[in-house]
Each structure stands twice: as C-alpha cells, then as structure tokens.
Amino acid sequence: MYLRRTTRSYKGTTYTNYQLVESVRTPSGPRQRTICSLGDLGPASAEEWCKRARHLEQALLGQDDLIDSDSLDRFVDHVRSRREVRASRPPRQAATGDRHIAVDPHRVSTEQHREAGPVHVGYQFWQRLGLNGILQEVGLPKTTQRLACVMTLNRLIQPASEHAMPNWIRRTALTDILESNFDALEETALYRTLDQLYPHRVAIEALQ
C-alpha cells in the first residue's frame, strides 16, 4: 500500500487529496486500486503520514496498533467494510462466459516433470537433416529409426551410457514428440539398435 497525492484547482484555490492505494494483479497485468480517500492530511510531515499508512496496513493484517488514533481507526473500519463488500460480490464473468478463479502459487504442485526445450530443438535438427529418410533408405525399420533418434539426441544433450539412457529418455518430452511409449524401454533394445546401425555406417555417412 502507498499514499497517492492528487490536486485540483477550483476558482483559484488548489485542493489536495490523499488516497490510500494498493497494487493488485489482474489478467491484464499489475493495476493500482484505490482503497479509500483520506482527504487533506496536512499539516503533517511526509514521514508522519507514511507511518500512519504503515499502521493502517498492519491493522488490516491483524497486528497490534502502534499508535492511537480515532480517525485512523475509522479508516481501518472503512477499508475493512470495503473489502467485505468486494468479497461478497459474485465473481465477474469474462467475455467468453468463463469465470475467473483465484490461484495461490504457493499451493500449486506439479508432477511428471519433463524436459522439453533441448530435445525439441534437437529433434528439429534431426528432421531438417532428413536422418529418418536416410535410415529408411538403408533398410532400417521405424523402431530402429526412432531409437537411433533418441540415442543421438542423448549424445547431443546429456551423454549417458546405454544403461542410464532409458531413464533420461523418460525424463524428457520425447514420448510426446515422437508419439512413442518408452516406459518399458531397456538398455538391450539400445544395444540392438547399435548393432543394426553398425553394418550401414558407410552408407549412412555417404548419404549425409
């Protein structure tokens, strides 16, 4: 919360008004919302009124009063009543008819985290180089092409042994990118893929 000072002139006289304002998050970004108008707070020092603003905030949070002030207590009651009115209102509907919901980021949890960025970029290069077509041209089946792809991406991104590679594959988004289920993948399948690739190495290099 903070104090906002506004002025306006009327018939040659300048009037000063202070408002208690808070920052709120909205779907359109941060916005400032006026809690209440405090009128002309002078004469008083800026430090004194900042102290009163902090007192008001602490009172709203349920902390003990730091100073005694009947007028400030009225402000507290006014702000509390304004918030109760807003809380009792039904949620506003968006243009599409959907309702906004409040989300507490500290209570949000996620599961089955998968790394997507590096494998996505690597797969784009795999496709641009036409490596699936090259492997198909030398007669390798689609399963071998798919495993050759994930093994190549592993070497490019986070090199691991064939024993550790299946766990790495399952921690990435390759299941979604290649539309394949790697839950049961074992190292023996990766060794077989290497055995299938080796006899065609000269042809594969020539086609590149």
Per the prediction, the chain carries an average pLDDT of: 78
Domain that includes residue 18, residue range: 2-88
pLDDT of residue 184: 92
Identify whether residues 75 and 134 lie together within a single domain: no
Same domain (yes/no): 121, 176: yes
Tokens 């009063």 -> residue: 65
Same domain, 10 and 80: yes
The pLDDT value given to residue 134: 92
Residue 95 within any structural domain of the chain: no
In the chain, the percentage of residues whose pLDDT exceeds 90 is 38
Domain-terminating residue out of 88, 108, 134: 88
pLDDT level of residue 13 (50, 70, 90 thresholds): confident
DSSP H or E run through 25: strand 13-26
Same domain, 84 and 165: no
Q: Which of 68, 88, 108 is the C-terminal boundary of a domain?
A: 88
* pLDDT of res. 58: 62
pTM tops 0.75: no
Is residue 107 assigned to a domain?
Answer: no
Q: Is residue 98 part of a domain?
A: no
20 has a pLDDT exceeding 60: yes
Could you tell me if 84 and 139 lie in one domain?
A: no
Burial label for 190, CB within 10 Å (0-12, 13-18, 19+), is buried
Quick: pLDDT tens for 135-168: 999 999 999 999 999 999 999 999 999 999 999 9
* 72 and 144 inside one domain: no
For residues 60 and 128, state if they share a domain: no
* Per-residue pLDDT, 60: 59
pLDDT digits (tens, 9 = 90+) for 34-86: 766 666 666 667 677 676 666 666 655 555 444 445 555 566 666 666 666 66
Residue 12 lies in a domain: yes
pLDDT of residue 128: 92
Find the farthest-apart pair of alpha carbons in the chain and give their distance in angstroms, rounded: 96
Q: Where are the beta strands (DSSP E) in 27-76?
A: 29-39
Distance of CA 82 to the CA centre of its chain: 31
Residues 83 and 121 in one domain: no
User: For the chain, how far is it from start to end, CA to CA, in angstroms?
Assistant: 64
Same domain, 131 and 202: yes
Give the per-residue pLDDT at 113. Answer: 76
Residues 131 and 195 in one domain: yes
Which burial class, exposed, middle or buried, applies to 118 when counting CB atoms under 10 A from its CB (0-12, 13-18, 19+)? middle
Q: Are residues 80 and 154 in the same domain?
A: no
Indicate whether 179 pLDDT > 50. yes
